[in-house]
Amino acid sequence: MAKITKIALTGAPCSGKTSAVERLAADLYTDSRDVFICPESAYEVIASGVSRENYLAFETIVAKKQLENEAEILKKAEQSEKNEVVIIYDRGITDCFSYVDDSDALAENIGINIVDSWARYDALIVMETAPESEYFSTS
């Protein structure tokens, strides 16, 4: 079985996470190393029409989808025939805790507390900047 390294990117909206994930994946892939990307689950949940009116309910759905996506990508990674595998997460379960006032309630809803959410990954990269663009403005 391959050695699996898990790297999650987190940070503000429009801080460059998805672009960094794609670049990181391209840079890390080699003949002896597979790279898998776990997409941001919030996009899937929003696209399905779930309301964000109640943040705890919304983030619970996002977190459960994230856990489902992470299990699926881990299963694929475990089937790799290469010596090394890197899984890069475009946001991780940790992010869900950032959007709720009651992290204990979210932890109860999903069965993982905030500290354990960090421990799921070997590395957590925090993207702090949000450059102005046609999609995001600071004014």
pLDDT band per the 50, 70, 90 thresholds, residue 12? confident
Q: What is the pTM of this model?
A: 0.86
Q: What end-to-end distance do the CA atoms of the chain give, in Å?
A: 50
Judge whether residue 130 has pLDDT over 80: no
What average pLDDT does this structure show over 58-75? Answer: 96
Assigned CATH topology for domain 3-127? Rossmann fold (3.40.50)
**pLDDT per position as a tens digit, 32-60:** 999 999 999 998 999 999 998 999 999 99
Q: What pLDDT, on a 0 to 100 scale, did the predictor assign at position 137?
A: 56
**pLDDT per position as a tens digit, 79-121:** 999 999 999 999 989 999 999 999 999 999 999 999 999 999 9
Query: Helix H segments across the chain?
Result: 17-28, 41-47, 55-78, 103-110, 114-119
Least confident of 28-32, 119-123, 126-130: 126-130
Q: What pLDDT, on a 0 to 100 scale, did the predictor assign at position 77?
A: 96
> What φ, ψ does residue 97 adopt, rounded to 5°?
-70, -20
Q: What pLDDT, on a 0 to 100 scale, did the predictor assign at position 61?
A: 97
